[in-house]
């Protein structure tokens, strides 16, 4: 399974994949971090389509077109804000990945790129988040043979190290 998983140090908005995942907020109307970068690169069409969606609950995901991005689609998923770990945050983050993979399967997507959802402003510990991302991705790859490649975008060194550890690699 892991041969279909790739770590990439890049800006997710540069990737010409079937879909990039956005770490969105409940409004789906844009924000900072990766969300801001995606909206800036996609152009105003993305915000217009997002307005029609009327938000998204935490743990769930919505799909839109990619507009000016090289990616065909954007999957907007809303991660939990880390509150210390006793508010169901780990399960909610797993729900995010499951929701994204469900949409990927429904749309027959073959290549998918994720940012480290919730690990920026939302404060989720990077190692815990990487372990959840890897576990759900391995499950999805085991059941969805159309899914050719899942990319984890590492925007900083701690994120890369967290994924490498979760994948059982040593760097
Ligand atoms: P959240 O609110 O879910 O924590 P953030 O956007 O603050 O979302 O951070 C999520 C992750 O995305 C962090 O690891 C952050 O470093 C990373 N990130 C920020 N900008 C980009 C980008 N352009 N491409 C890929 N990852 C990014």
30 within ligand 1 shell (Cβ under 6 A): no
pLDDT, tens digit, 9 for 90 and up, residues 79-135: 999 999 999 999 999 999 999 999 999 999 999 999 999 999 999 999 999 999 999
Of the pLDDT bands very low, low, confident and very high (cuts 50, 70, 90), residue 170 is very low
What pLDDT, on the 0 to 100 scale, is given for residue 169? 63
122 within ligand 1 shell (Cβ under 6 A): yes
Architecture of domain 5-167: 3-Layer(aba) Sandwich (3.40)
What pLDDT, on the 0 to 100 scale, is given for residue 171? 41
156 within ligand 1 shell (Cβ under 6 A): yes
Residue 151 has pLDDT above 60, yes or no: yes
Q: Exposed e or buried b for every residue in 43-75, given b needs 16+ CB within 10 A? A: eeebeebbeeeeebebbbbbbbebbebebebbb
Query: What residue segments make up the domains of the chain, in order of their start?
Result: 5-167
**Local structure of 153: helix, strand or coil:** strand
Question: What whole-number percentage of the chain has pLDDT above 70?
Answer: 98
115 within ligand 1 shell (Cβ under 6 A): yes
Chain-wide mean pLDDT for the chain?
A: 97
Distance 155 CA to ligand 1 centre (A): 7
Dig out the tokens for 138 from the structure. Answer: 């391995």
Q: What is the pTM of this model?
A: 0.97
User: Rounded CA gap, 77 and 141, in Å?
Assistant: 19
What pLDDT, on the 0 to 100 scale, is given for residue 18? 98
User: Rounded CA gap, 27 and 76, in Å?
Assistant: 11
Residues with catalytic roles: 35
Residue 34 has pLDDT above 70, yes or no: yes
Atom of ligand 1 nearest to the CA of 156: 16
Distance 94 CA to ligand 1 centre (A): 17
């Amino acid at each position: 399974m892991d041969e279909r998983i790739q770590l990439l140090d890049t800006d997710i908005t540069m990737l010409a994949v079937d879909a990039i995942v956005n770490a969105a907020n409940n409004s789906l109307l844009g924000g900072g971090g990766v969300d801001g970068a995606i909206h800036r690169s996609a152009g105003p069409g993305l915000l217009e389509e997002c307005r029609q969606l009327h938000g998204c609950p935490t743990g769930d995901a919505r799909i839109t077109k990619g507009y000016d991005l090289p990616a065909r689609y954007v999957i907007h998923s809303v991660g939990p804000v880390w509150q210390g770990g006793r508010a169901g945050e780990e399960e909610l983050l797993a729900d995010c990945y499951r929701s994204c993979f469900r949409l990927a399967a429904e749309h027959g997507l073959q290549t998918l790129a994720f940012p480290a959802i919730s690990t920026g402003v939302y404060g989720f510990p990077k190692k815990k988040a990487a372990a959840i991302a890897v576990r759900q991705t391995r499950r999805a790859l085991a059941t969805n043979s159309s899914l050719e490649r899942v990319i984890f975008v590492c925007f900083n060194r701690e994120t890369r190290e967290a994924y490498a550890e979760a994948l059982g690699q040593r760097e």
